[in-house]
Amino acid sequence: MKDKTACLAQDAADRLRGLRDLFQIDDDEIYLDGNSLGALPRATPARVREMVEQEWGRGLIRSWNDAGWIDLPRRLGDKIARLVGAAPGEVAVADSTSVNLYKVLAAALRISRADAPRRTRILSERSNFPTDLYIAEGLARQYGMTLELAEADEIPGRIDSDLAVLMLTHVNYRTGRMHDMAALTRAAHEAGALAVWDLAHSAGAVPVDLNGAQADFAVGCGYKYLNGGPGAPAFVWAHARHADRFEQPLSGWMGHAAPFRFTTDYQPAPGIARYLCGTPPLLSMAALECGIDTVLAAEPLGGIAALREKSLALGELFIELVEARCAGHGLALASPRDPALRGSQVCFARGEGAYAIVQALIEQRVTGDFRAPDILRFGFTPLYTRYIDVWTAVERLAQVLDSGIWREARFQRQAAVT
């Protein structure tokens, strides 16, 4: 088992160690929740202030042209494309993950209905993130289809000739289990179905190759591993073979072919631009660009492959230390033990007190989170997480468990956000 000295030596040898300086994070803050909300990039406050004081304050409405505001959804999309295996012009930043999922799933269902009206099922994972299931449930009712849920291991066997769309999150939010995007997309296509992917826990954390996998549609989140700030806008991608087939259902003016002609009829823009809807949230986009740039800063150091290598090493260290230091306290690994099947997070299940243990740990300045009913979840963002952070986090977790402090009443009161 690695000790404190070994972890400090790993940090000293880490080629990515300088990237932590891009973030405003206290040296004694052990932040293992970047899979829920990324840390604040140092560049963000000044960039947002510049947009507020100069571009908005002085430039006023002229900044739509002079400061390039109108181009932000696609300019940021091109940056994200470099992280998800998409080509320039194929990704746009807009709206939320939920709204974008509604757009692409509706488009996928329309394509399926046009090509094969007999198909009546949407298939997803039972433990998929709830918003994805809620959106799919609503669209299933709207299109007269059925939403079918299956365990992860059951999914390949449920792909058949009745399937219209396979809708999955690439990395499961509760367990960190990562699906084989290429294999499942291929299976869906062989059955005549389409594949829609949610990259909320993938983009900026694990290698993704949308075009290489021949996926059909994808959406993703801006405030997790892309470090765009709370409520940051999301992104949307459509494969080139689908981009112009159907207009998406939220036909707002920014998705119009010529929004400033102000025609009374809707004419969809070509390509991914038609997946825009209303006026973009520019201040949030300015913050998001700073966050994306922190991930792209890893490119000279090995890019996503280097980030993936470090995140796996951090996760493996965490599992090793927890199982050694916290043995006998009822923690059971809920994430895949095989690192190749795991995203950039590690989860442990505990039948009693999972929420309270996380709260007691947060009081010790180690931030993870709880996912109902019994999951302690820890994310490893290699841009700013150090090996010594992992060692210290486990030491403090062991202290919380050994002392039983988590049983105190103040840790039992559940807040609105867990």
**pTM to 2 decimal places:** 0.96
Distance CA 193, CA 112 (A): 7
pLDDT greater than 90 at residue 2: no
Distance CA 25, CA 40 (A): 7
Average pLDDT, integer, range 184-190: 98
Distance CA 147, CA 8 (A): 49
Positions annotated as catalytic residues are 129, 198, 223-224, 377
- The identity of residue 266, as a single letter, is Y
Structure tokens belonging to residue 183: 């294999």
Distance CA 98, CA 149 (A): 18
Residue ranges of E strands in 337-396:
345-349, 366-367, 369-371, 375-379
Q: Cis peptide leading into 373, omega within 30 of 0?
A: yes
Average pLDDT, integer, range 249-271: 96
CATH number of 4-41+303-411: 3.90.1150.10
Torsion angle in degrees (nearest 10) through CA of 173, 310, 211, 245? 40
Per-residue pLDDT reduced to its tens digit, 277-318: 999 999 999 999 999 999 999 999 999 999 999 999 999 999
Give helix 387-403 / helix 303-325 axis angle, nearest 10°: 30
Distance CA 404, CA 398 (A): 10
pLDDT of residue 12: 97
Distance CA 20, CA 22 (A): 5
Pick among 1.10.150.120, 3.40.47.10, 3.40.50.970, 3.40.640.10: CATH of 68-296: 3.40.640.10
Planar angle of CA 44, 47, 51, nearest 5 degrees: 135
Domain boundaries, the chain: 4-41+303-411, 68-296
Distance CA 364, CA 389 (A): 13
Quickly tell me which residue has 């040898």 as its tokens: 13
Confidence of residue 418 (pLDDT cuts 50, 70, 90): confident
3-state secondary structure of 177: strand
3-state secondary structure of 325: helix
pLDDT of residue 351: 87
Quickly tell me which residue has 């997803």 as its tokens: 124
Helix (H) or strand (E) holding 165: strand 163-169
Listed in sequence order, the residues at least 6 apart from 166 whose beta carbon sits closer than 8 Å to its beta carbon are 123, 124, 155, 159, 184, 185, 187, 188, 193, 194, 195, 196
Helices and strands per DSSP (H, E), number in the chain: 12, 13
Per-residue pLDDT reduced to its tens digit, 324-335: 999 999 999 999
